[in-house]
Amino acid sequence: MTAPRPYALLAELTYRCPLHCPYCSNPARARNDAELTTAEWHRVLREATELGVLQVGFSGGEPLVRRDLAELVHGAREAKLYTNLITSGVGLDESRANELREAGLDSVQLSFQSDDVDLADEIAGVRAHQPKLAAASFIRAAGIPLSLNFVIHRRNIDRLPQMIGLAEALGAERVELANVQFYGWAFLNRAALLPTREQVARAREVATAAKARLAGKIDIFYVLPDYYETRPKPCLNGWGQRYLTVNPIGDVLPCPTASSAIPDLHFENVRARSLDWIWRQSESFNRFRGTEWMPEPCRSCPQKEIDFGGCRCQAALLTGSAANTDPVCSLSPNRVRVDAVLRDLNPSIVGAFDWMPRVNPNKEAAATLDREVTR
């Protein structure tokens, strides 16, 4: 099919990060190539605008690690892009917040691990909670709209009411309660992160009630734990339809997790090709575009234009082929694999939280992973 125009770019500026969350979105085996330079990012931002992109999210890793962040925000604003910063807040002091505001930053999504300092710091693997609280106040003082992002998993899901309370106390305009999705580090740590069925049911009630209570005050966005659903999420609104990601080393991905989840997909790099060519012509963007690639049961399913067959990365991770129906779907012959995970984990759940903290990419880390992956 012909390529539509994209709306949003995720700019992963770096894999470096002072935190070590066990569900980190960094690839579990990040390549160590040089990060894109300031000038290269400016070009990417311009090319994205020409392609039709209207929004950019600066993320990582921790994007504040890049000293040129404000410069890149400014460049994005010059290109008329709406700019979001997706950050842990660690490294954001008052002058940095003001610098970003002056550069034209439109909004900040600040991640929190929990409302409780001990649990939060345990999850992050460093003392990050206090600096995050400070960061929230600097963002408010600079007058930048604030969203709070919580990744929800077995250890913090029972604190949903308190976490929503934190968002209220910090004056957030929006809060995202995202049940952890199992890719990358989270996939490796799934046994420790997956919540129980009872927890999930309670959390859904809490989120629904809070949504009603805070309507018009705080926008609450609840991301469902899809293993417990019977229909898959409409991942990305379809492959290569609206979103693209450029990672720290310049690879362009239809989905941020595709590089680790789908090893047989080759990604093009902005150092070698234009964004336009990659978006329209590359094999990686075209392989799952539209509905032609779909197998049964999706091919003859009336839902196929609604959920697009679910998530390619999930299909790859759980069934071994990215071209299969997302196994979360109860119509998928592979749904048994998801059910097996839920069944296996639910009885043995109490006290199991021996996850593996994310480590920075180096040889030692790779060795640890080899053991974990091949176990």
Q: What is the CA radius of gyration of the chain?
A: 20
CB nearer ligand SF4, residue 251 or residue 307? 307
Q: In sequence order, what are the residues at sequence separation of 6 or more whose Cβ sits closer than 8 angstroms to the Cβ of residue 91? A: 18, 62, 64, 65, 131
Q: Does the protein bind other proteins through residue 5 (CB under 8 A)?
A: yes
CB nearer other proteins, residue 30 or residue 146? 146
Q: Does the protein bind ligand SF4 through residue 329 (CB under 6 A)?
A: yes
Cβ(132)–Cβ(40) under 8 Å?
Answer: no
Q: In sequence order, what are the residues at sequence separation of 6 or more whose Cβ sits closer than 8 angstroms to the Cβ of residue 17? A: 24, 26, 60, 61, 62, 65, 88, 358, 360
Map residues 293-312 to x or -, x wherever contact with ligand SF4 holds by CB under 6 A: ----xx--x-xx--x-xx--
CB nearer ligand SF4, residue 268 or residue 326? 326
Cβ(185)–Cβ(24) under 8 Å?
Answer: yes
CB nearer other proteins, residue 223 or residue 359? 223
Q: Is 311 left (phi over 0), alpha (psi -120 to 50) or beta?
A: beta
The one segment of 10-18, 78-86, 316-324, 367-375 that binds other proteins by CB under 8 A: 78-86
Q: Does the protein bind other proteins through residue 333 (CB under 8 A)?
A: no
CB nearer ligand SF4, residue 63 or residue 290? 290
Alpha-carbon distance of 214 to 69, in angstroms, equals 33
Alpha-carbon distance of 222 to 213, in angstroms, equals 14
Q: Does the protein bind ligand SF4 through residue 326 (CB under 6 A)?
A: yes
| Cβ atoms < 10 Å from Cβ of 117 | 15
Residue type, 153: H
- Figure out which of the listed residues 14, 25, 26, 55 binds other proteins, where binding follows CB under 8 A: 55
Alpha-carbon distance of 323 to 234, in angstroms, equals 15
Map residues 87-106 to x or -, x wherever contact with other proteins holds by CB under 8 A: -------------------x
Tell me the torsion sign for CA atoms 181, 185, 190, 195: negative
Q: Does the protein bind other proteins through residue 241 (CB under 8 A)?
A: no
Nearest distance from C-beta of residue 50 to other proteins, angstroms: 8
Nearest distance from C-beta of residue 146 to other proteins, angstroms: 9
Partner interacting with residue 165 (select from ligand SF4, other proteins, none; CB below 5-8 Å by kind):
none
- Figure out which of the listed residues 8, 79, 133, 331 binds ligand SF4, where binding follows CB under 6 A: 331
Alpha-carbon distance of 362 to 345, in angstroms, equals 31
Nearest distance from C-beta of residue 305 to ligand SF4, angstroms: 8
Tokens found for residue 227: 């293993």
Contact positions vs ligand SF4 (CB under 6 A): 231-232, 297-298, 301, 303-304, 307, 309-310, 325-326, 329, 331
Contacts with other proteins by CB under 8 A lie at 5, 7-8, 49, 52, 54-55, 80, 82, 84, 106-107, 109, 143-145, 147, 173-174, 176, 215-216, 219, 221
